Amino acid sequence: MAEFNIRNEDMQSMKEILQNNSLADAAEKIQDHFNELDHVTLNIAVTGESGSGKSTFVNAFRGIGDCETNSAPTDVVETKTEPKSYSHPKYPNVQLWDLPGIGTPNFKADTYLQDVEFNRYDFFIIIASERFRSCNVQLAKEIQKMKKRFYFVRSKIDNDIRAEKRKQNFDYGKTLQKIRDDCIKGLQKEGITSPTVFLISSFELRSYDFALLEETMEKELPEHKRHLLLLSLPNITQEINKKKAAVLQADIWKMALLSGTIAAIPIPGLSFLVDVAILVKEISRYFMAFGLEDDSLRELSNRTKVPFGELKSVLKSPLKDEISVDVVRKMLTKAVGGGLMVTEYLVSNIPVFGSMVAGGISFGTTYYMLNSCLNELAKDSHNVLMRALQTSV
């Protein structure tokens, strides 16, 4: 039995669209909803003193190495004289801004926000590789005055751990707590009340506090930007993959509704063509979000030293080799039986959709296929990460 996790406000919104418009206009308005989501932007400012690891963090967040052609340069001295944006390779609406170092001759802390055009950013990540200094704190206070979020990130934790391991009395947990406490005490002395500091290694994102940073940013963003953030995160933990699956799952019924609405328009052949187009686009979106395309698997292979062929061999979905119109058309034909079961549930439990008799089968089949493909690819993503971590841990 299919399960529909639909928010009441979404249900009401779509119900009003169907009741107050012709089928053609309703389909157009539903498509407009998805077009608006496609144009959501997220601008993340990464700042701190020169040499703190800003550029390496920008690259790691985008899931690429420091030596790729589109990576942020990681020079040992400050080379930036103005904010530089770097698009996410899969989600170009996500821009990470590598800002010039605070306190450099051209960017004094007291005019920094004005100089880097403060209003364009959704939030700030303030990075330090040692203690946070007065210029970091001054910047944080100015950001706070302007009602925007900021996060203190203590970088290069892997270097600290390696150095401390040389000591006979090394204790991993105590070492991390000592670093955290030192940063917090320094910030408190500078007047920051109850600061939170995230300990991070840009070379080992799945370790330390990156997951906690991601969770905090996610909670503090508006919903539409939160979804974009989640999809753009590197696939480094099973928890991130689960969250991505939930974000993608939330759109399935709306895509199916678009399919069903178009199917109810009396134009022969239109529904099948639209269903195939919807399925190719959405399944490709799932594949990309889970990092299952070859480029992402190669990057994962480079980071974990697991051969690309081994990661590729873990994929079991029939979509692993090709997502094309022909492949999807064959799968769509086979999925009609499952779609009919969804339609039966639909008619008896969701009246606003069940009344669309002409579009019921199209709705049910599209929902069934997208749901099945998402589950298959989420499982493949789980298995790929398990294979990578078994070797790299």
Q: What integer pLDDT is reported at residue 1 of this predicted model?
A: 41
Q: Which residue has the higher pLDDT, 361 or 43?
A: 43
Cβ burial of 169 (10 Å; 0-12, 13-18, 19+) is exposed
Q: What integer pLDDT is reported at residue 11 of this predicted model?
A: 57
The Cα-based distances of 95 to 79, 121, 122, 287 in angstroms read 20, 9, 10, 21
Is domain 42-230 given the CATH code 3.40.50.300 in the classification?
yes
Angle, to 10 degrees, between the axis of helix 238-263 and the axis of helix 23-38? 160
Average pLDDT (191-204) is 90
Domain spans in the chain, listed from the N-terminal domain onward? 8-38+235-392, 42-230
The tens digit of pLDDT for each residue in 46-75 reads: 998 878 888 899 998 988 877 777 787 776
| Beta pairing partners, 151 | 125
Q: Contact, 117 vs 39, CB < 8 A?
A: no
Does the pLDDT value for residue 393 go beyond 50?
no
Does the pLDDT value for residue 178 go beyond 50?
yes
In terms of Cα–Cα distance, which of 173, 174, 192, 172 is closest to 184? 192
Categorize the per-residue pLDDT at 320 as very low, low, confident or very high, splitting at 50, 70 and 90.
confident
Q: Tokens at residue 234, please?
A: 């590197």
- The whole-angstrom separation of Cα 314 and Cα 317 is 9
Q: Tokens at residue 274, please?
A: 């639209």
pTM of the model: 0.80
Measure the CA angle with vertex 99, ends 58 and 127; round to 5°.
Answer: 60
Torsion of the alpha carbons at 173, 175, 177 and 181, rounded to the nearest 10? 180
In terms of Cα–Cα distance, which of 165, 193, 153, 191 is closest to 58? 153
Q: What is 221-265 written as a DSSP string?
A: S-HHHHHHHHHHS-S-SHHHHHHHHHHHHHHHHHHHHHHHHHHTS
Q: Which residue has the higher pLDDT, 1 or 324?
A: 324
| Beta pairing partners, 94 | 42
Average pLDDT (188-216) is 90
- The whole-angstrom separation of Cα 327 and Cα 332 is 9
CB atoms within 10 A of CB 357: 11
The tens digit of pLDDT for each residue in 323-379 reads: 767 777 677 666 655 555 455 445 444 545 544 555 666 777 778 888 888 998 999
Q: Contact, 318 vs 324, CB < 8 A?
A: no
Does the pLDDT value for residue 103 go beyond 50?
yes
Lowest average pLDDT, out of 113-117, 174-178, 307-311, goes to 113-117
Average pLDDT (280-303) is 87
* Strand order through the sheet with 149-154: 84-87, 94-98, 42-48, 123-128, 149-154, 197-199
The Cα-based distances of 247 to 12, 196, 386 in angstroms read 20, 27, 22
